[in-house]
């Protein structure tokens, strides 16, 4: 009975066509909260208790500002949809967006990582993630039919913002994918688990971590770093910012413009006033 509200909430989000990644994130945050409050009914949790919970997440668990926004967003939507309440979580909201410059890998570091990824399936996964600038959630949702080798495109269905888009397919990645497909013969999803179904994000994260260790790259990097690196390297190679925006599926150009702060070629062409 304790899980009934969460199951119903999940069904509501599915009905309202929220992306699977958003649904998974929201439900996951609510399950963590449920565990923290030892299965106490959500309706009986006070604003003060939520304040202490978020304080615990921020100052003990060191969650990022983006995660904090997700937690608050899931709570607001949950109370609205399940209990018809417009709960005021104003004290829990991040007051100002952090404008952090994302970490990126160099092209040589990406090559080293792929060189030290010996398993063909793992190499295909990381290669496509970087080569097409995909989010991990988007990659795991790919079906075999989403790869178009004639047009050299990858179709991303219902990505962030619930929009379809096309991104590029590298000829080198296609070669790896063909070898992978021939050996592993996936049935529905492009990358599947050992017993069928979609591959897991957790397994993909372990692949990158192992490959970086083998390549002796000590940078702090995640699967999303490969996407950041894709965008930065395109910019350094002279690809226009609006084209990169479309490939990444950014709704707002401001999100894409962050890469202008880290593209080496752009920075290196600026002369110091002293010169």
To the query of whether residue 224 is one of the catalytic residues in this protein, the response is: yes
Residue of 79, 180, 199, 259 marked active site = 259
CA dist 200 and 197 (Å) reads 9
- Is 111 marked active-site? no
φ/ψ (deg, to 5) at 198: -70, 150
Hey, what are 225's tokens? 């770093």
Is 122 one of the annotated active-site residues of the chain? no
Which is the catalytic residue, given 121, 123, 135, 165? 135
Catalytic status, residue 56: no
Please, are residues 76 and 87 in contact by the beta-carbon 8 Å criterion?
yes
To 5 degrees, how large is the angle CA 177–CA 134–CA 157? 90
* Residue 135 annotated as catalytic: yes
Catalytic position from the list 155, 160, 198, 210: 160
For residue 92, what is the DSSP state? Answer: G
DSSP H or E segment with residue 148:
strand 147-148
Residues with Cβ within 8 Å of residue 221, at least 6 apart in sequence: 103, 105, 208, 212
Select from 54, 36, 42, 33 the least CA-distant residue to 1: 42
- 227 is annotated as an active-site residue: yes
Q: CA 231 → CA 38, 68, 98, 129, 207, distances in Å?
A: 43, 26, 20, 12, 22
Catalytic residues: 135, 160, 224, 227, 250, 259
């Amino acid at each position: 009975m304790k899980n009934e509200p969460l199951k119903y909430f999940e069904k509501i989000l599915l009905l309202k066509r929220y992306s699977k990644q958003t649904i998974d994130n929201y439900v996951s945050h609510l399950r963590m909260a449920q565990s923290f409050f030892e299965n106490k009914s959500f309706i009986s949790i006070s604003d003060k208790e939520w304040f202490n919970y978020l304080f615990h997440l921020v100052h003990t668990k060191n969650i990022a500002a983006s995660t904090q926004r997700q937690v608050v967003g899931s709570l607001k939507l949950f109370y609205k949809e399940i209990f018809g309440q417009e709960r005021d979580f104003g004290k829990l909201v991040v007051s100002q967006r952090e404008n952090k410059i994302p970490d990126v890998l160099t092209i040589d570091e990406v090559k080293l990582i792929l060189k030290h990824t010996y398993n063909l399936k793992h190499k295909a996964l990381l290669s496509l993630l970087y080569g097409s600038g995909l989010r991990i959630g988007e990659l795991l949702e790919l079906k075999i039919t989403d790869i178009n080798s004639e047009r050299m495109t990858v179709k991303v269905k219902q990505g962030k913002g619930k929009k379809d888009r096309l991104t590029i397919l590298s000829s080198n990645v296609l070669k790896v994918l063909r070898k992978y497909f021939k050996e592993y013969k996936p049935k529905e999803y492009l990358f599947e688990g050992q017993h069928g179904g979609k591959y897991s994000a957790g397994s993909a994260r372990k692949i990158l971590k192992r490959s970086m260790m083998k390549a002796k790259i000590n940078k702090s990097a995640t699967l999303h770093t490969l996407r950041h690196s894709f965008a930065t390297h395109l910019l350094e190679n002279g690809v226009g910012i609006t084209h990169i925006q479309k490939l990444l599926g950014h709704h707002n150009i401001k999100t894409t413009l962050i890469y202008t702060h880290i593209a080496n070629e752009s920075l290196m062409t600026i002369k110091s006033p002293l010169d």
